[in-house]
Amino acid sequence: MNADALRGHLDALLLSVLEHEPQHGYAIIEALRDRSGGELDLPTGTIYPALRRLERAGYLASEWAIVGGRRRRTYRLTGAGRAELAGERSAWTAFTSVIGSVLNPSREPSS
């Protein structure tokens, strides 16, 4: 998938992956890959800075945990993150509706 197509949507994708359970960075990358059927195979250099930015914004909280015998930073959604995700979903629905109506009009314009 074209990286430019993700611009502006990465935050919503990350928040969505963390909606139901805390996860460490690599698990988040795997979840994005799995949910997208392999289309979103994003590098750590894209994901980790975004996670830190979302944490600074108050949408995520993190803590160190032992996962699979390794010490990893685990991220979870905060209340503000849940509210942001709801807003992102609403904005995405409106956006896709508008773009869909332009790309796939239901009727031909009258002359």
pLDDT of residue 108: 63
What is the rounded distance in angstroms from the CA atom of residue 28 to the CA atom of residue 18?
A: 8
What is the rounded distance in angstroms from the CA atom of residue 12 to the CA atom of residue 8?
A: 8
pLDDT of residue 79: 98
pLDDT at 19 over 90: yes
Residue ranges in the chain assigned as alpha helix (H): 3-6, 10-17, 25-35, 44-56, 79-103
pTM (2 decimals)? 0.86
pLDDT over 70 percentage in the chain: 92
For residue 109, being part of any structural domain is answered with no
Confidence grade of residue 5 (pLDDT, cut at 50, 70, 90): confident
pLDDT at 111 over 60: no
Could you give the number of structural domains in the chain?
1
Which range marks the domain in which residue 13 is found? 3-93
CATH number of the domain enclosing 16: 1.10.10.10
